[in-house]
Chains A and B, each alone.
Chain A
Amino acid sequence: MAIAYPTTKDYDSTVAEGLWIADFYTSVCGPCKLIDRIVNEIVLENPDVNWAKCNLENDWDMMERYQVQGTPTLIFYLDGEEKARMIGGFHSREEIEDVISRIMYGE
């Protein structure tokens, strides 16, 4: 498990290997805090799941480049390839785990 804080400069290399959840958020976004709590629990229990925390306030260019239309947005990557995307803060832990499980192990 790794936790990274990428910007546009190192984003692609960060998510290039393994399973990554890129978490796009802002500090003033309430629902982002809900998602943050859930993802934190998942990555603590599953060392194969990596977490790229992308604070848009630090680099607004990421929003356009990765087509983020709102916060929070989670983009799931396996070896650099986008596999899934979840938008909004009201997803359960089970929903997020289902997405990860499908990416890691298939249907």
Chain B
Amino acid sequence: MYTRLHSMPDWRQALAGLGLEGAPDNADIDAAVLRELSRGRVSFAAADGPVEAGFRVTLRTESALPKFNREKTAVTVGGGLYSREIESALIGMRAGESGSAVVKGEAVSFTVTRVERRVYPELTDELARAQGIPGVETLAQYRAYMASKLRGEFAGGVSARLIALLIAGAEMDEPDERDIRAVIDREYEPLRERFAHSGEDIDAISDEQWRKNFYRPELKASYELIYPDIAPFMDTTSKADYYEKRRPAAIETIRECLILNAVLGRDADPTSDRDALKALRAALDEEICGLIFEKGAEN
């Protein structure tokens, strides 16, 4: 690469300053295991205590609104399918108690006639095995899998914040035009190969054909989730337009790679390797995950 990084903030200090609120703890991991393994197996039983989110409540309602003028309605509290206003008012109530709420400007009065809590199945190795996750045969292995998943997701978020902080505080060259062009070329290669595979030359197609093949701007946001390699083409009207629109992303790729190389002590080059940034991000996520969770790893 022609672009150079001159200095950046101390990344360990920057990481320490980020704060780690929301890091998944054992309670979060247990809750996720329970939620996933009991999917489709939750039942309800009469509850003595007050209504909590997730409980099922049977109501008698009175209102000018027909939906809320019923002798008997069963509602799962907190899901929001019935009425967020009434569900919110139900929290803490007990069977026999009455309350009221305003929905769409109309008063609704209600009496709780029955409260039921969720009953979860006993978690077993069999349930864990039934998830079909490679290498997971026992409940303990499933918990370890879930812990790794949640921690990895959290570390990914921390990494992204750290990189943004380091880029903002770094001194580096404006990305060199040759680097920008090369990064976009690498991103473009799979498309060229795909066309070549079916005997076509993408560089020879007209702007009209390009538009016909790729221009679907209304779908781009959705495709970014599913087909991230195709999404960048979906708001472009020609190859020249594509190269112009990809400039900001290419500039960010160059900056991010320079920072990540410095943090990780590597020399990955996005102008020659289109997976360089992906590999660097994965390595940083792993590093951050280790640093955040090394103390409380598996318990």
A interface, CB within 8 angstroms of B:
1-3, 30-31, 33-34, 42-49, 89-90, 97, 100-101, 104-107
Interface flags for B197-238 (1: CB within 8 Å of A; 0: not) read 000000000000000000000010011011100000000000
State the main secondary structure of chain A at its contact with B: helix
CB-CB under 8 A for A101 and B82, given A30-B227, A90-B222: yes
- Cα A2 to Cα B43 with chains together (Å): 10
Nearest CB on B from A71, distance (A): 13
- Cα A89 to Cα B81 with chains together (Å): 21
Of residues 33 through 85 on chain B, the ones whose CB sits less than 8 Å from some CB of chain A are 35, 39-40, 42, 44, 54, 56, 66-67, 73-74, 76, 78-82
CB-CB under 8 A for A1 and B227, given A45-B79, A101-B81: no
Whose C-beta in chain B lies nearest to the C-beta of A50? B40
- Cα A47 to Cα B39 with chains together (Å): 9
Could you tell me if B76 and A34 are in contact, using CB atoms closer than 8 angstroms?
A: no
Could you tell me if A46 and B76 are in contact, using CB atoms closer than 8 angstroms?
A: yes
26 CB < 8 A contacts A-B:
A1-B39, A1-B42, A2-B40, A30-B223, A31-B226, A34-B225, A34-B226, A44-B35, A44-B39, A45-B54, A45-B76, A45-B78, A46-B76, A47-B44, A47-B76, A47-B118, A48-B56, A48-B74, A48-B76, A49-B81, A90-B222, A97-B80, A97-B81, A101-B82, A105-B67, A105-B81
Could you tell me if B42 and A47 are in contact, using CB atoms closer than 8 angstroms?
A: yes
Could you tell me if A105 and B40 are in contact, using CB atoms closer than 8 angstroms?
A: no
- Cα A38 to Cα B198 with chains together (Å): 36
Nearest CB on A from B42, distance (A): 5
Residues of B within 8 A of A1 (CB): 39-40, 42
State the main secondary structure of chain B at its contact with A: mixed
Residues of A within 8 A of B39 (CB): 1, 3, 43-44
Nearest CB on B from A98, distance (A): 9
Could you tell me if A34 and B74 are in contact, using CB atoms closer than 8 angstroms?
A: no
Between B44, B74, B81, B219, the greatest number of chain A beta carbons within 10 A of the residue's beta carbon is seen for B81
Partner pick for B67 among A31, A47, A100, A106, CB 8 A cutoff: A106
Interface flags for B254-288 (1: CB within 8 Å of A; 0: not) read 00000000000000000000000000000000000
Residues of A within 8 A of B118 (CB): 47
Could you tell me if B80 and A105 are in contact, using CB atoms closer than 8 angstroms?
A: no
Q: Which 9 A-B pairs have the closest CB atoms?
A: A30-B226, A46-B79, A3-B40, A45-B79, A101-B81, A106-B67, A47-B42, A46-B76, A2-B40
Given A34-B225, A100-B81, A105-B73, 6 more pairs with CB closer than 8 A: A1-B42, A30-B226, A33-B225, A44-B35, A45-B78, A104-B81
Residues of A within 8 A of B80 (CB): 45, 97
- Cα A104 to Cα B118 with chains together (Å): 20
Could you tell me if A34 and B222 are in contact, using CB atoms closer than 8 angstroms?
A: yes
Nearest CB on B from A43, distance (A): 8
Residues of B within 8 A of A97 (CB): 80-81
Nearest CB on A from B82, distance (A): 6
Whose C-beta in chain A lies nearest to the C-beta of B82? A105
- Cα A59 to Cα B73 with chains together (Å): 37
Nearest CB on A from B53, distance (A): 9
Nearest CB on B from A50, distance (A): 8
Residues of A within 8 A of B76 (CB): 45-48
- Cα A107 to Cα B66 with chains together (Å): 7
Nearest CB on A from B120, distance (A): 11
Nearest CB on B from A90, distance (A): 6
- Cα A41 to Cα B80 with chains together (Å): 12
Nearest CB on A from B7, distance (A): 42
Residues of A within 8 A of B79 (CB): 42, 45-46
Residues of A within 8 A of B82 (CB): 101, 104-105
Nearest CB on B from A15, distance (A): 15
